[in-house]
Amino acid sequence: MTARIIKRAAALGVIAAMGAGAALADYDDDELVIDGVKIATKVPAPPGHPLPEIVSGWRFRSDETQALEADDFENPAMVAVDYGQSLWDAVDGEAGKSCASCHGDVEESMKGVRAGYPKWNEKAGRPFTLENQINACRTENMKAEPWKWESREMLAMTALVGKQARGYPMKIQKDGPMAEWIEKGKELYYTRFGQLDLACSNCHEDNYGKMIRADHLSQGHINGFPTYRFKWQGLGSLHRRFKGCMENIRAEPFKRGSDEFVALEAYLAVRGEGLGIETPAVRN
C-alpha cells in the first residue's frame, strides 16, 4: 500500500468515527458558579458566526470533571495558582523588583486583564499573549530572565493572573492592526494539515458533541487556559494544546509562541467572545 493510500485510509477512518455512527454526547445545561461568581458557559452567537451558539468546553465534560472545576478546594490547578502568588510577591532580577512592586495587589491590578488577550503591543509591533507580556515585564522592568513558555513558573503566573478575570467575558480588540492577525488565525483554523488531512474546524465546528474514540469533542474554545488536563496530569498552556492537536493529526506542529499559534489564539478569542473566563479550567 502506498503512503498516499495509507494517508487517505487513516483520514477516512477518523472522519468515519466522527460521522453518523459516532456516539453522541451533547453538552448539558448545568450552570458554572465558582466561589459565588457565575460564569457564562453558553452565549448567543452573533450574526455571521459559524456556530449556532457559543458553548464552553466545561459543558461537554462529565459531572465529576465539572464539579472539580466548580470547587477551588478540589481543583488540582489551584496549587499552581498558590505558587503564582508566591512568584508575584518574590523579588527577582537586577532591578530588585517583584511583580507586586509595580502592580500591587494582584486581585485588584489584574482584575479582568486576561479577558483582553491577545492584545496589540505597539512597541513590539505585534500581538502579545499573556505569556509575552509577562516575559516583557520580567526582562524590561525587573531585569530578570524570561520564563520558558511551558515552565512551572509561567504556567503558575498565567493561572494566577487568569483567575483574576473569572467571569469576565472574553473580548479582544478586533480592528486596527489586530484584524490582519485574526484573519491569519482564521485561515489556519480552516486549513487542513498532516497525514490525516484535517483542520481545526473538522472537529470543533463540524463534529462537536460527538465522541471520537475516548475523546468528547467540544467547540474548542480557549476561555479556561491554562488548563489542568487529566491526560497531562498537570497544568498546560493553550499553545501546548494546539501542538498536541497538530501531533494527533500527524502534522508537524508550530512552536509555542510562534506567529501561527499567536494568530490562531487571537482568532479563537474572537470566535469565543462573550464566554466567561474560567481559568484555571479542568478538562479531560
Active-site annotation, residues: 245
- The annotation places the binding site for heme c at 99, 102-103, 137, 200, 203-204, 245
Strands in the chain per DSSP E? 32-34, 37-39, 42-44, 53-55, 119-121, 126-128, 211-212, 215-216, 227-229, 234-236, 281-283
Distance, CA of 234 to CA of 80 (rounded, Å)? 9
- The annotation places the binding site for substrate at 241
Q: What separation in angstroms does the CA of 150 have from each of 46, 97, 153, 256?
A: 34, 23, 8, 8
- The annotation places the binding site at 99, 102-103, 137, 200, 203-204, 241, 245
Distance, CA of 172 to CA of 103 (rounded, Å)? 22
Residue 138: what residue type? R
Residue 249 in grid coordinates: 493529526
Distance, CA of 60 to CA of 207 (rounded, Å)? 13
- Omega before 280 cis (within 30°)? yes
Distance, CA of 75 to CA of 58 (rounded, Å)? 13
